[in-house]
Amino acid sequence: MRQATAAANAAGLVAGYALDTLLGDPRRWHPVAGFGRAAGALEQRVYRPDRTAGAVFTSVVVGAPVLLGVAATLATRRRPVARAVLVAAGTWTVLGGRTLRREATVMGRALRDGDLPAARRRLGHLCGRDPSALDEPELARATVESVAENTSDAVVAPLVWGAVAGLPGLLGYRAANTLDAMVGHRSPRYARFGTPAARLDDLLNLVPARLTGLLTIAVASAAHGDRHRAWQVWRRDRNDHPSPNAGQCEAAMAGALGVRLGGRNVYFGRSEVRPFLGDGPRPEARHLKRAARISGAVGVAALGIAAVYPLTVGRLVGAAGRYGLRGVRAAIVTRLGTGPAAVTDAGRPGGRGRTASRPLSGAGAGRVSARRGNGSGRGRAR
């Protein structure tokens, strides 16, 4: 049954990725958009300019989808086909690879046609920068940086968490990432309230961002990129970015395309100066199609890893966890059985030295019952 469940999770991830590749995001009634509206409504009720309120808000808003995923997982524990369908639907919901590549392609077309007003309007679909004064190279740079970072956020990270934790991982990661986009940025309103959401998103992306960087290097040749240069730039520049994760993706992309990323980013009401990543010229319109192609190749590679994980490493980790849990339970039972209430029958006629527990009554029974309830019943839902 466990093997069938692992196969169902893997099949669901593959099917969900295929749906995203073929159909992209739903035009209407997108579940993530509905989640964002619900989170925004709750924020208006609980907002206070302190981290405690932000931590409570983040716990509730991220915890609810996780619990929903856990409930669905338990309900389909012995129904692998239903599990595969649910994981496929969840994967399709949280992925954004096709939309990301389409936006990069549309932006590149607008820049090639010299239609800067259209390109500036389009930038809002990718990032939150103020495009009003951006020229072609700066619009291209913003697009390449967004494609690099969102390849991790919208493709690799959901697949990683779906492989590791199934449906709860898919829903929980997308909730945390959406919440970070809503309240995790630096602004007077969210400077403290949004910190817990931002830190949670950083934590959840530590592994996916680094995997994205390495996969970008590995597939650089898919877009006529230089794999060796991508490796060199990634090793040298990846930790220069103020974000613990974005630099991993952007440095690898800069090296693969042979361009220079970073510089002054203007947002609505504030600006930030980022260190340069890479040694080449500023990006141009022609680089956007190549960036989209690299993003697609990274997604396919990540899907392969995610699909294999539940059938290999995931099963080993699960078996090790179950073995360890049995050991803990055995130790607890042994300790309970050899306490003051236990006697041996070694001295009795026919006794063989076995440990026998005498029936307890009154306060003694209550103590043992309490100890058992506090010890052997613990476990994590997966």
What average pLDDT does this structure show over 285-293?
96
Structural domain boundaries of the chain? 2-311, 316-375
Of all helices (H) and strands (E), which one includes residue 331?
Answer: helix 313-337
H/E/C letters for each residue in 223-253? Answer: HCCCHHHHHHHHHHHCCCCCCCCHHHHHHHH
Sign of CA dihedral 228, 230, 233, 236: negative
What average pLDDT does this structure show over 314-330?
63
Beta bridge pairs of residue 129:
267
277 and 254 Cβ atoms separated by less than 8 Å? yes
Q: Is the pLDDT of residue 102 over 70?
A: yes
Q: Which tens digits make up the pLDDT trace of 178-197?
A: 999 999 988 889 999 999 99
Residue 333, C-beta contacts closer than 8 angstroms, at least 6 positions apart: 376
Residue 333's pLDDT band, with cuts at 50, 70 and 90, is confident
Rg (Cα) of the chain, in Å, rounded? 26
Which of 99-113, 140-154, 158-172, 321-335 is the least confident region?
321-335
d(CA 151, CA 165): 20
Helices 313-337, 2-23: inter-axial angle, 10-degree rounding: 140
Q: Is the pLDDT of residue 327 over 90?
A: no
Residue 80, C-beta contacts closer than 8 angstroms, at least 6 positions apart: 4, 5, 7, 8
- The percentage of the chain sitting over the pLDDT mark of 90, rounded to a whole number, equals 70
Q: Which tens digits make up the pLDDT trace of 68-82?
A: 999 999 999 999 999
